[in-house]
Amino acid sequence: MQRWVGHADLDAFYASVEQRDCPEYRDRPVVVGAQPGHRGVVAAANYRARTFGIHSAMPIAEAYRRCPNAVYLRPDMDKYARVSREIFQILETITPVVEPVSVDEAYLDLTGLEKLIGPPEVIGSEIKRRILEATGLTVSVGIGPNRLIAKLGSEHRKPDGLMVVFPDQVLAFLAPMPVANLRGLGRQTQKIFAGLGIRTVAQLRALPPGYLEEHLGSRAAVSFHNQALGIASAEVVYGRGRKSISKETTFEADVREHDILQDTLHKLAAEVAARARREQLSGAVVTLKIRFTGFETHTRQRKLPAPTHDERVILREAWALFNQGNLPRKPVRLIGVGISDWQQTETEPMQADLFDQPQKREIDDRLLETIDKVAGRFGKGMLQLGCKKEARGRDSS
């Protein structure tokens, strides 16, 4: 049986949701991210904004310089998460095997659906129709014999595109593509390819693997040679889902004061913990992200003895990483916290501390449930758990 993998990618997701909800934005450039005049970056830009060269991760000051008349909006992550859940429910009406990659894209195992729905072109059209009718949003869909071709197919005709690549079309489909479209191509590898005069996949494919190995090493050479031939995995893993939950903030002015940094981490930890509880996840790894003056960025991680979705634990570990992580003693521009290494809270309850009392755990669970209910009714930040201030532990000078 022919394997078929689909890749569904919502078009400019955050910005498209805002345009859907506010019709007055539909014919204007829309940028979601930090506000002009503040520090931060672009989270998403619609296609009209992209004609000005605006793209995600661009500093918001640069985006504003390029298009001061755009609509600039702060992200509403809770709204995007609700829409995302609706979209994934729609995808599961097409196939039960859906592998989320992020809030706005997923891989789908479409093998064997020809008898139920029709050929790949019909399946792709049906995915697009159901999402548009239910949410008012457009999606680009790529379908091919493996994950690589499906992903490249969805990118090929954005926005609102549909691309089906049959097995006997794979080599011709890939040949004219720039090598930059391949997966895992970092800046250093791009420089190497440029130095070798390799610009297209066809040029890459024509090189002997041994020649590539001399310049890239054996592992990278095999990976890029296989991609050039369209060889990739066709496995789609049901419910693999997000790899982490994180939140970060960029300060208006660089911060030295530890009280401000710890209070900010507390708020971020509370948001991360609340989202984890909503998704019934507990994380066993806490990550601290910190950016200093001059965009020098560091991350530190710590493995927990037991998974958590408690903001107090996340804050405690993140603050310990800040104090004990051998970080530079510089003013802080950005700080963030995240959790990963999931354990489902419904089926795999958190391991109890050896000396923890069952009554205390029950009280803690009720407290967390109350906080979530208050946030759901009155908005996040209305109620937070108090956290003990830790000793400074490191010189902030």
Q: In the structure encoding, which two tokens stand for residue 318, read together?
A: 């993140």
> Which residues does residue 335 pair with via DSSP β-bridges, in sequence order?
249, 290
What is the strand order of the sheet 281-292 is part of?
244-255, 332-344, 281-292, 297-308
DSSP 8-state code for residue 389? P
Q: Which of 286, 293, 287 lies closest to 250, judged by CA?
A: 293
Q: Which of 18, 99, 105, 271 is catalytic?
A: 105
> Which residues does residue 147 pair with via DSSP β-bridges, in sequence order?
none
Task: Please name the residue that has the structure tokens 């903001």.
Answer: 311
Strands 30-33 and 71-73: parallel
- Evaluate the omega torsion of the peptide bond into residue 209 and state whether it is cis, within 30 degrees of 0: no
Q: What is the residue type of 207? A: L
Distances (CA, A) of 130 to 21, 86, 159, 183, 211: 19, 11, 17, 29, 48
For residues 110 and 143, the answer to whether their CB atoms sit within 8 Å is yes
Q: In the structure encoding, which two tokens stand for residue 83, read together?
A: 């829409």
Confirm whether 317 is a catalytic residue.
no
Torsion, CA 88, CA 91, CA 93, CA 94, rounded to 10? -160
Q: Which runs of consecutive H residues, i.e. helices, occur in 279-387?
A: 311-324, 358-378
For residues 145 and 170, the answer to whether their CB atoms sit within 8 Å is yes
The residues annotated with a catalytic role in the active site are 105
